[in-house]
Amino acid sequence: MVNLDAYNQVLKVDKERRTMLVQGGMRLQDLNDRANEVGWTMPNLGSINVQSIVGAISTATHGSSLRHGLMSENVKSLRIVLANGRAVRCSAEQNSELFRTALISLGALGIIVEVEYQLTEACNIEWTQTLEPLAKILNTWDKELWTQKEFTRVWWMPYMKRAIVWSAEKTSKPSRQAVESWYGGSVGFHTYHNLLWLSNYVPRILPWVEWFVFGMQYGFRTGQTTSAVEPLKTGLLMNCLYSQFVNEWALPLAKGPEAIERLSAWINREAGGGDIPFSNKNLYVHCPIEVRVSDSTFRDAPRPYLDNTSAEGPTLYLNATLYRPYLQDPPCKDRYYEAFEWLMREVGAKPHYAKNWQFTSSAYIEEAFGDDLKQWCRVRNEADPEGMFLGECHRQALGLGGGAGASNESHSQLSLLEREKDRKPALPGSCQFWRGALSFPVSPAVAGDAVDSTPASGVPRAEDSPGASSSGESFDMLHGSEAEKSVLYNGDEEDVEGEEVEEDVAEQMRAERRFHGHPRESWTGTRVFDKM
């Protein structure tokens, strides 16, 4: 309900520390553009750059490199507006518990309005991508696969048992485009899209689609390579092609071969089926399955409480992507994702918060995160005791505001937690119009009720200390209820017409396609297949 898109300015450039202080609504692409103006760039990126800097760090966004961890590791400080209206600055040295909670906050802590981000020297990267047998990927897993270059990611083609290995290193070479192919533009884009649509009605063609589409783009024989030189700020991006579901989990890198071999056996109906106890009869999935890595263990930076990476060593990310051709859901989704999530839990993985996991209970999340989730909840509840920033997704994913579990010890007062009331289909495709309601009735007296302003820790109230809005005082001295309880806007439901909202959604979806990679116009149309 608070949109920071226009709150997107650079506030400070620190040339000595090579950091930029920016407002929370700044998009990653804009941050990189502004950084490039002074010869800097973001040191690591995920697959797209259209998110806000706050959205990216708050959901544990990552790239694919064993020399980098989560994007949040480059955050030097934050300024966050809490439920009581106070804006508090935090960092590793100042309000450190709030900092560890805010680095991956899932929007449940407050509104992050400023981010101080660590940058690096702007440069080009030279990338290569090579079609390899899956057996070679697994044989070199613990050797040179992930360590030869700074950035490496793999796109696994499950039916062909092959993979595209994409790797990149910083270079002083001038920019160089990848070799153009007629299939790399609109021909390839629309061919794949229409074949995916057809597979919704005839799923058994998907192994053939995988062979044909990726053979046309990357070759039908292993060992074929393409390369290019791009600026770091665009070279790490890829094109997401179509509307899609993404179900990504983080697990210890050492367990990768086991997870891939078991999932491969299940998808390909091999004997034993990878010991995955779900039927794979008449089930066919999309290509590719994305394989990426990170390592947060060697960084001298505060570890976020909700960091889903491995604390003992490098992390592997497996992402079971399913496309929605022409906004239609594939028939395999629920059974595929139920089996996939079961396997991920079996190998001790944790889900990526911003992805489409749906068959894992909050009880598993509580057990997987243990004391870290308890600490996150403790700080979150102290900062927002009424649950102003909580919604249905936090309740379902983390067990907040209901159900058994350690993370629910202090949730009886979350009167502003919004629960799902109802939902109905909204055009186009299977988009949904969602309506929520507060968990508990709130009387008009709420806005004037006095509350105990001393937290359980016994720390003095904020009015006993100085109170600048960008204060450097202890978070414990600011987070109490020194302000009045939250004021709730109880607008009439008639103020929001469902039909109008649905039409807005439809209009948005009809808008021009957005390409997230580094597309270029050519005689074949917009080039989207130069790299996956």
pLDDT at 80 over 60: yes
CA–CA separation, 140 and 526 (whole Å): 35
Number of residues in the chain = 532
DSSP collapsed to 3 states, 396-434: HHHCCCCCCCHHHCCCCCCCCCEEEEEEEECCCCCCEEE
Element (H, E) at 336: helix 333-346
Q: What percent of the chain has pLDDT over 90?
A: 68
* More confident: 478 or 6: 6
DSSP collapsed to 3 states, 214-280: HHHHHCCCCCCEEEEEEEHHHHCCCCCCCCEEEEEEEEEHHHHHHHHHHHHHHHCCCCCHHHCCCCC
Cis peptide before 43 (omega within 30 of 0): no
Q: Residue 289's closest CA among 267, 272, 309, 274? A: 267
Write the CB contacts of 504 (distance below 8 Å, at least 6 apart in sequence).
none
Architecture of the CATH domain 124-360: 3-Layer(aba) Sandwich (3.40)
List, in sequence order, every residue forming a beta bridge with 294; answer none if it has no partner.
315
Question: Angle 333-346/256-267 helices, nearest 10 degrees?
Answer: 150
For the chain, the distance separating the N- and C-terminal CA atoms, rounded to the nearest angstrom, is 34
DSSP H helices, 117-249, are 134-139, 186-199, 206-218, 232-235
What digits encode the pLDDT tens for the residues 346-394? 999 999 998 999 999 999 999 999 999 999 999 999 999 999 999 988 9
Cis peptide before 257 (omega within 30 of 0): no
Q: Residue 430's closest CA among 333, 515, 335, 339? A: 333
Q: What is the mean pLDDT of residues 275-299?
A: 95
Q: Residue 196's closest CA among 290, 355, 322? A: 322
Please give the model's pTM, rounded to 2 decimal places: 0.85
Q: Where do the CATH 3.40.462.10 domains begin and end in the chain?
A: 124-360
Please give the angle made by the CA atoms of 322, 323 and 326, to the nearest 5 degrees.
155
In 100-224, which ranges are E strands?
Answer: 111-118, 120-121, 124-133, 151-157, 162-171
List, in sequence order, every residue forming a beta bridge with 471; answer none if it has no partner.
88
CA–CA separation, 129 and 227 (whole Å): 6
What tokens appear for 278 in the block? 């779900």
CATH, range 10-122+363-398: 3.30.465.10
Q: Residue 64's closest CA among 172, 155, 158? A: 155
What digits encode the pLDDT tens for the residues 175-234? 999 888 767 788 899 999 999 999 999 999 999 999 999 999 888 999 999 999 999 999
CA–CA separation, 430 and 327 (whole Å): 7
Q: Is 179 exposed, middle or buried (0-12, 13-18, 19+ CB in 10 A)?
A: exposed
pLDDT at 454 over 80: no
Cβ atoms of 57 and 132 within 8 Å: the answer is: no
CA–CA separation, 213 and 286 (whole Å): 12
> What was the pLDDT predicted at 497?
44
CA 339 to chain centre: 21
pLDDT at 72 over 50: yes
> What was the pLDDT predicted at 185?
83
Q: What is the mean pLDDT of residues 418-433?
A: 77
Cβ atoms of 111 and 24 within 8 Å: the answer is: yes
Cβ atoms of 395 and 417 within 8 Å: the answer is: yes
pLDDT band for 425, please (50, 70, 90 cuts). Answer: confident
CA separation, residue 336 to residues 51, 202, 278, 343, 468 (Å): 28, 17, 9, 11, 52
Handedness of CA 385, 390, 391, 392 (dihedral sign): negative
Provide the mean pLDDT of the chain: 84
CA–CA separation, 121 and 40 (whole Å): 4
Q: What are phi and psi of 99, to 5 degrees?
A: -60, -45
CA–CA separation, 191 and 198 (whole Å): 11
Q: Residue 385's closest CA among 464, 452, 444, 465? A: 452
What tokens appear for 366 in the block? 């509580």
Tokens 């508090």 -> residue? 88
| Three-state secondary structure call for residue 139 | helix
pLDDT at 245 over 90: yes
> What was the pLDDT predicted at 170?
97
Write the CB contacts of 412 (distance below 8 Å, at least 6 apart in sequence).
none
DSSP H helices, 438-530, are 498-509
Q: Where do the CATH 3.30.465.10 domains begin and end in the chain?
A: 10-122+363-398
What tokens appear for 274 in the block? 């990878």
Cβ atoms of 155 and 532 within 8 Å: the answer is: yes
> What was the pLDDT predicted at 279?
96
CA 77 to chain centre: 20
pLDDT at 527 over 80: no
